[in-house]
Amino acid sequence: MTSWQPAEIAWDQAAGRAAAPGISGSLRTGSELSAARFRLEPGATVPRHAHPNEEFGQVLSGSLELDVGGHVSVLRAGAGFLIPRDITHAARAGQEGCVLLECYAPPRDPFPPAGGQS
Amino acid sequence: MTSWQPAEIAWDQAAGRAAAPGISGSLRTGSELSAARFRLEPGATVPRHAHPNEEFGQVLSGSLELDVGGHVSVLRAGAGFLIPRDITHAARAGQEGCVLLECYAPPRDPFPPAGGQS
């Protein structure tokens, strides 16, 4: 390798950025995928949107109401989800907020796109 | 969509499979990435190996000693990591064991490959 980037991602030390009102996130981008960790304040909403990246998510703490193509489920800490590309989805954090881990393939960077959606 | 597969991944209800001695995992595969959750018993080792899939990981609980290309670090719950494709790596769970979430792009399925490496 011509340059060495540590494998470890210390999310708490990574610079966060605002993704939407009540949502901040940190991002690490590779060549085939990107990973992000988001903190959502209680009730924070991810507006309805779609993107060409397949999306995997994992609820690390709290809960998330997830709407994927009109199918709504409430995911609690420990649950994951997989959203195919181009499927419209939206989300809202539960009353305790939510910490969410996500991976996108191909990479989704820059992130968030203009407009602040995630 | 011609068929509907729920977005949610209830890892605890997913069928686990042995990946290596002391390691079991569950897998969900998409078109661009695959996601897996592994449980490693205390001291369980992931043999040194490499694969053409880029790999993202997140320590959900416990700790993991990770060797990526000879750079060794100890990751604790909350830390993530990103391993470029074709980089040799190995791992060992700490004395409390480890629950590990991973994403691979492109998908790594079937998993584990013949030989039981992860």
- Looking at domain A30-105, its CATH superfamily turns out to be Jelly Rolls (2.60.120.10)
pLDDT of residue A12: 85
pLDDT by residue, tens only, chain A of 118 residues: 446 677 999 998 877 888 889 999 999 999 999 999 999 999 999 999 999 999 999 999 999 999 999 999 999 999 999 999 999 999 999 999 999 999 999 999 877 654 444 4
pLDDT of residue B17: 83
Residues in chain A with CB shorter than 8 Å from the CB of B101 are 58, 80, 101
Find the residue in B nearest to A29 (Cα): B82
Residue of B1, B53, B82 lying closest to A7 (CB–CB)? B82
Find the residue in B nearest to A8 (Cα): B81
pLDDT of residue A116: 47
Write down the domain spans for chain B.
17-105
pLDDT of residue B3: 61
**Average pLDDT rounded to a whole number, residues B1-21:** 79
* DSSP one-letter code for A86: T
Residue of A31, A73, A89 lying closest to B84 (CB–CB)? A31
Residue of A35, A66, A84 lying closest to B80 (CB–CB)? A35
ipTM: 0.90
Contact B7 A83 (CB under 8 A): yes
Chosen for mutation from B8, B89, B100 (greatest number of chain A CBs closer than 10 Å) is: B8
Q: With cut-offs at 50, 70 and 90, classify the pLDDT of residue B19.
A: confident
Find the residue in B nearest to A73 (Cα): B8
Each residue of B50-90: pLDDT tens digit? 999 999 999 999 999 999 999 999 999 999 999 999 999 99
Look at domain B17-105 and name its CATH class. mainly beta
CA–CA gap between residue B31 and residue B39 (Å, rounded): 24
Q: Are strands B54-68 and A80-83 parallel, antiparallel or unpaired?
A: unpaired
Residue B16: its H or E element: none
Residues in chain B with CB shorter than 8 Å from the CB of A70 are none
What percent of chain B has a predicted confidence (pLDDT) above 90? 79
Residues in chain B with CB shorter than 8 Å from the CB of A84 are 1, 30-31
Query: How far, in Å, are A38, B29, B105, B111 from residue B32 at the CA level?
Result: 22, 8, 6, 15
**Average pLDDT rounded to a whole number, residues B15-44:** 93
Contact B4 A71 (CB under 8 A): yes
Contact B54 A69 (CB under 8 A): no
- Please identify which residue in the block is written with the tokens 């691979």: B104
pLDDT of residue A34: 96
State pTM to two decimals.
Answer: 0.91
Helix (H), strand (E), coil (C) string for B79-115: CEEEECCCCCEEEEEEEEEEEEEEEEECCCCCCCCCC
